[in-house]
Amino acid sequence: MEPDRRFGRVHFVHRVNAASVFIVGSVVAVDPLGLWPFGPLRWLVISTLGLVVWAICMRRPAAQLDRRTLGLWMLLLVFLALGAMTNGDVWVAFVGSDTRHFGLFTWVLCWGLFCAGQQLRGCEAALRRGGTIAALLVGLWCAWEALIGPPIALGVNTSRLTGPFGSSALLGAALCLLLPFAIAVAADSAEPRVWRVGATIAGALGAVAIVGSGARAAWVGLLFAAIMVAWKVPSTRKAFAVAGGAVVAVMLLLLTVTSVGSVVERSHGTTSRLDEWSLASRVIANHPMLGVGPEGYRIAVSEAVDAEYERAHPRDSVLPDRAHASLLDVALAGGVAASAAYASLLVIIGRRAMRRLASGSMSHVALTASLLAYFSAQLLLFPVSELDPIAWLLAGVVAAGTTPPRPRRALVVHAKTAVASVVVIVAIVAGVLDVAANRLAYDAVAASADGNGVAAREVATRATRLRPDSIAYRMIAVQVLLAADTVTATDLALAQATDALDWSRHDPIAVDLWASGLLQRAVQTGDQVDGRSALAAWEVLVARDPSRARWQLQLGRAAAVLGEVDIAREAWERAAALGSSQAEQLLKELR
């Protein structure tokens, strides 16, 4: 790719450097001082740097966009927008939930980075170095985790490696993207020795990490990519055979080590994934045209849950919010047409990536393997805000067409730059406030655990003031206040829960905490009015989701407060039939 005549070599270098920094920063940004160490700071980096890369790349006076993929992206975004506007949870559908961040904004960001990637064609060698650095950092993190322990303590009990994501599934997906770049740099004799040595270390550590993650979707994705590349590029077959044998040896070695010996074990078998797909398919059948909007599945899933699913997968602490299959997840977000557009994009990108293998360039091989591995693994996973922006940036490099670009007037370029600058500033402010609120939430939970209810309440309230639109921080405040177990604190908790419902009226966690607050107040006061309010709230929730064992259990407790023994018995019998051991114990006490 030749540097732009208008902006010169400096602007060309800025585009490549910005893209490389974006790849590395998106992978390694963590905040050990926050309640969610792998969330707000990483999203700050992804959203702001992603917008910066988009703006810098599209400042070219003759930006080139492939028309075919552009049309499919427009179709996808239109249906996602319509789904967002009609699902009754518009704010979250547009900006994303506090933990997943995959609302309409993120889809638009992915499209923007896809467009930006098309301006980076010819920069594959530079981008693969960025991917190699990211792979090395991820590998070093996982090596520390395997030998010493997690650098950041997690509230989960697993022997699988999770890396700088706090999730073994996301670690596997990240290595699908990054590991091919490290292997390509290590195998390229044209690279300086220092880069080849570093890439070799990154590849070895990455191989250990991919095995230790136990991410089966990633294993399938990498295997598929290796087979396709070996089929099209015979010269790589020997290297793949050696690498494959090494990975098998690593796997056998790791499976004999106690700390990672259960990487292939699951609390649920293959039927769990089949159950998730069946559940999502039933929701899609109810909303085939526009889906339930981005992030809407967490609410609409109650339409399809039955007693059999609830018994097999209790929803006491973990609520289904994704289908674990990218095509199903997109259909849930924007309908069948959106899923078809998404699938068409994947097919076009895959075909163009395979055609580029004919050049024999190691950069093209690495890029093709990376995209094939990642997007094929996602067929068994789901779109993730931490990695999809990187993947679509790289996909843009592959999808870049050969049609002559249309020069744009300087006024248009400057206007778009001004708009981009405003959006970047908004993203920075929102992201910084989110990071600060995340740290306050950590302090609030710690103070509550230490029994300092007053300090916990004050800190949690400050977090909600920093990000009043965030449901997550309000729910942390509710939990802290309810733990104080006083009428005054409960009233404050109910106020926070009500504010959360103003932003997302049917959020399953927010409505649960609100109704729990009403029940706690009824127990504290013994007032009949409070008891009736709690009973009415739980009746509404049970009517919305009759197959949720916890809500049947709480309905029975609310009825028991009022002395409505028959209602309590009936609710607890339903909860027991749904697998609740607590309900069985309460029924014994009732008898």
- For 556-569, how does the pLDDT look when each residue is reduced to its tens digit (9 = 90+)? 999 999 999 999 99
Q: What is the pLDDT of residue 402?
A: 47
Rg for the chain, CA atoms, rounded: 26
Q: What is the pLDDT of residue 107?
A: 97
- For 213-224, how does the pLDDT look when each residue is reduced to its tens digit (9 = 90+)? 888 999 999 989
Distances (CA, A) of 121 to 17, 20, 350, 389, 548: 14, 14, 16, 17, 51
Q: Is the predicted pLDDT of residue 63 greater than 80, yes or no? A: no
Place 1 in a pLDDT band, splitting at 50, 70 and 90: very low
Place 226 in a pLDDT band, splitting at 50, 70 and 90: confident
Q: Is the predicted pLDDT of residue 158 greater than 90, yes or no? A: no
- For 240-278, how does the pLDDT look when each residue is reduced to its tens digit (9 = 90+)? 555 555 655 655 565 555 444 455 555 555 568 899 999
C-alpha–C-alpha distance, residues 459 and 448, integer Å: 10
Q: What is the mean pLDDT of the chain?
A: 87
Q: Is the predicted pLDDT of residue 3 greater than 50, yes or no? A: no
Q: What is the pLDDT of residue 241?
A: 57
> Distance between alpha carbon 217 and the CA centroid of its chain, in Å?
15
245: amino acid identity, one letter:
G
C-alpha–C-alpha distance, residues 388 and 103, integer Å: 13
Across the range 478-484, mean pLDDT stands at: 93
b/e burial code for range 485-504 (CB count within 10 A of at least 16 → b): eeeebbebbbebbebbbebb
Q: Is the predicted pLDDT of residue 7 greater than 50, yes or no? A: no
Q: What is the pLDDT of residue 13?
A: 72
- For 76-101, how does the pLDDT look when each residue is reduced to its tens digit (9 = 90+)? 999 999 999 988 889 999 999 888 89
Q: Is the predicted pLDDT of residue 175 greater than 80, yes or no? A: yes
Q: Is the predicted pLDDT of residue 357 greater than 90, yes or no? A: no
Q: Is the predicted pLDDT of residue 404 greater than 60, yes or no? A: no
Q: What is the pLDDT of residue 557?
A: 95
- For 411-469, how does the pLDDT look when each residue is reduced to its tens digit (9 = 90+)? 555 566 677 778 889 999 999 999 999 999 999 999 998 888 889 999 999 999 999 99
Place 515 in a pLDDT band, splitting at 50, 70 and 90: very high
Query: Taking the CB of residue 456, how many other CB atoms lie within 10 A of it?
Result: 26
Longest Cα pair distance anywhere in the chain, in angstroms? 85
Q: What is the pLDDT of residue 356?
A: 84
What is the percentage of the chain residues whose pLDDT exceeds 90?
Answer: 65
Q: Is the predicted pLDDT of residue 141 greater than 80, yes or no? A: yes
Least confident of 64-73, 194-203, 233-242: 233-242
Tell which residue, 512, 459, 513, has the closest CA to residue 482: 513
